[in-house]
Amino acid sequence: MKKILILPEAIITSNYYILHSVKHFREYIKLYKSKKRRLIPPVPVIPAPLVTRKFNAILKEKFNKFKKKHQKAKYFLLDGSHRTTAAYITNNKISAIVIEKRSDVSKAIKMWKSGKLKQWRLGDAMEKIVGDLVTHFNKKPRFHTVNEKANKLRNI
């Protein structure tokens, strides 16, 4: 499993526009502004090709159109909308762990159990994680990056 620092435009995020906890969001903003980013757990991401290869033809076509305009978008966000939005708003890079194979899922679960990850609600199988993303985008076939989503949240 790789740990990386990435820009918001490199992450494709879900189509949910609600932050479930304004309190947690404000806490992350405060941590980013105080430059205590080491206290912020990394977000899990997955390389886009691991997900898009499971898309049906229609969804692949929509994703390809998105990708032409968003060439830096290389990962799907698995969890961490509050953290990624706070990073964008405070002009910080995003600390992430890249989930690429089954052993990465096991390592992430161990990180969560030891307190190095905020939470892990994604299950213990790579197939389930990918399947859940495919299901989500089949239901809501729109793609956007963290920075685009954060800008939309500002306008709600």
pLDDT for 23-36, tens place per residue? 888 898 899 999 77
Residue type, 111: M
Tens-digit pLDDT profile for residues 34-61:
977 788 889 999 999 999 999 999 999 9
pTM of the model as a whole: 0.91
The number of distinct structural domains making up the chain is: 1
The strand ranges marked E within the chain are: 2-6, 11-13, 43-47, 75-77, 94-98, 144-145
Domain range holding 132?
2-154
Residues 117, 42: Cα–Cα separation, whole Å: 7
Alpha-carbon separation of residue 53 from 30, 56, 65 (angstroms): 38, 8, 15
